[in-house]
Amino acid sequence: MPSINIGLIGLGTVGCGVVKTLQKNQASIKEQTGLDLNLKKIADIDLERERPVNVPKEMLTANVNDILDDPEIDVVIELIGGYSPAKEFVLKAVENGKFVVTANKALIAKHGLEILEAARKNNVDVYFEAAVGGGIPLLLPMGLSLSANRIESIYGILNGTCNYILTKMTKEGKSFETALKEAQEKGFAEADPALDINGSDSMHKLVILASLANRCFFNEKDVFVEGIEDISQKDIQYANELGYCIKLLAIAKFEKEQLSLRVHPTMVPKEHMLSKVENEVNAVFLRGDIVGDLLFSGKGAGMMPTASAVVADLINVAQDISNELKQNVRLIGFEGGKKIKTLSIDEIESRYYLRIEAQDKPGVLAKFSEALGGFGISISSVIQTEDPETKTVPVVITTHRAKESAVKKAIEKIEALDSINGKVKLIRIADL
Ligand code: HSE
């Protein structure tokens, strides 16, 4: 039976999941593929830490070159995350003629073109299904199965940590900090959880999805990014009252011939399927011009769901090696060259939720409506709750569709009024 030798770089949460999966399903993988997937070496900088897997001591090394320079190793799995030294390791593996499987969304979003070009030059492939949506099969459908379509819009819940935090704040009234701590304990969050909550992780995943969907390569700078740091219990409660859930959405949407790429907290109607996606579950709701609407959903973070995607890539790679197939046959659309114009955030049109802390005195509401009306923005609803205890009251306004640049000008005018306290809180309302 042909044997494929594997080197694993990074024995963290997902790395342990990969080892567990290979140990558990070795026999069935052999039976399915006729290949023996042999985990030969594991490199990690910390060899002492207690881990939830048993690996023979001689399999472990602190020297990554024991993998990268070993001519017997056919496939390198990179699971350390981040840009550097992951990029150097992946490029060295490729230059040494090794196939690569990675879950590294930051690396692919930033250096994907360069890495795939290096792979082409060296007649090997780089697979990265686990980089987006954890265990949900997304990149194969996006890059291949949907290639008959123009993908008109993608609305993704792509970060398990943020979805977990927002769900716990909404359903259980938990504080942001408590919910984040739980997400970290459950192994969903990045080593630096700021990347989850500031929207960067979702942005990386959106760059990859949108690039595959459109057969061109977008830049991280094409994406407007706003995280969930400033979402308060107040906004969650008002959203609920208005019939919405707040989700961190990653959006790629054609507006005429230009593509709007953005990640931001978004109010999603409670009856929409995306509102029902809770905890660490991820989902991608997309619209293709031929297929219509599709929803992909499943566990987007955590040890075993992510390991499922890594090992699936590994099996594909092993089959490609054994069949002498090259050039990432699955991902036909990930190329440079072609350009699609992207819209800046100021150019988009949306509906908006605005929360203003206002003094409760005559004429204040009229001033808000004058500021909005002056820029052609039509108000859709207003909530003002009485509070005898405080001098200010929250005024919550939702608008009809308006241009973002106009809304920002109106906000500037409102913030200049002496009858309000602090900044106006803006949350975009989804038009799904
Ligand atoms: N930190 C990521 C998340 C892990 O929370 O979704 C999966 O990429």
Answer whether 3-134+303-322 and 348-429 agree in fold: no
pLDDT digits (tens, 9 = 90+) for 105-161: 999 999 998 998 899 899 899 999 999 999 999 998 888 889 899 999 999 999 999
CATH class given for the domain over 3-134+303-322: alpha beta
Q: Which of 157, 165, 166, 196 to mutate to test the pocket of ligand 1 (most atoms within 8 A of CB)?
A: 196
The atom of ligand 1 lying closest to the CA of 301 is: 7
pLDDT at 373: 97
Closest CA to 13 of 91, 84, 79: 79
Contacts of 244 (CB under 8 A, 6+ apart): 267, 268, 269, 270, 275, 353, 429
pLDDT at 328: 56
Pick 332 or 376 by higher pLDDT: 376
Please return the burial class of 241, using the count of CB atoms within 10 Å of its CB with bins 0-12, 13-18 and 19+. Answer: exposed
CATH class given for the domain over 348-429: alpha beta
Q: How confident is the model at residue 329 (pLDDT cuts 50, 70, 90)?
A: very low
Q: Got the DSSP string for 221-288?
A: GGSEE--STT--HHHHHHHHHHTEEEEEEEEEEEETTEEEEEEEEEEEETTSGGGG--TTEEEEEEEE
Region 204-215: mean pLDDT is 94
CA 163 to ligand 1 center in whole angstroms: 10
CA 405 to ligand 1 center in whole angstroms: 32
Closest CA to 62 of 38, 80, 82, 83: 80
Encoded amino acid at 66, one letter = D
Region 287-309: mean pLDDT is 95
Pocket of ligand 1 (CB under 6 A): 134, 159-161, 188-190, 196, 201, 300-301
- Which of 214-218, 232-236, 324-328, 376-380 is predicted with the least confidence, judged by mean pLDDT? 324-328
- Which of 192-206, 350-364, 396-410 is predicted with the least confidence, judged by mean pLDDT? 350-364
pLDDT at 337: 67
Q: Which of 108, 190, 279, 299 to mutate to test the pocket of ligand 1 (most atoms within 8 A of CB)?
A: 190
For residues 378 and 110, give the distance between their C-alpha atoms in angstroms, rounded to a whole number.
40
- Which of 9-23, 164-178, 212-226, 398-412 is predicted with the least confidence, judged by mean pLDDT? 212-226
Q: Which of 13, 105, 158, 159 to mutate to test the pocket of ligand 1 (most atoms within 8 A of CB)?
A: 159
For residues 319 and 323, give the distance between their C-alpha atoms in angstroms, rounded to a whole number.
6
Region 330-344: mean pLDDT is 72
Residue 3 parent element (H or E): strand 3-9
Q: How confident is the model at residue 334 (pLDDT cuts 50, 70, 90)?
A: low
114 to each of 39, 71, 120, 136, 341, how far by Cα in Å? 28, 23, 10, 26, 21
pLDDT at 398: 98
Q: How many CB atoms lie within 10 A of CB 401?
A: 13
CATH class given for the domain over 139-299: alpha beta
User: Domain residue spans in the chain?
Assistant: 3-134+303-322, 139-299, 348-429
CA 260 to ligand 1 center in whole angstroms: 23
pLDDT at 198: 98
Encoded amino acid at 86, one letter = A
Question: In this model, does residue 336 exceed pLDDT 70?
Answer: no
Percent of the chain with pLDDT over 90: 82
Q: Catalytic amino acids? A: 205
Please return the burial class of 1, using the count of CB atoms within 10 Å of its CB with bins 0-12, 13-18 and 19+. Answer: exposed
CA 300 to ligand 1 center in whole angstroms: 7
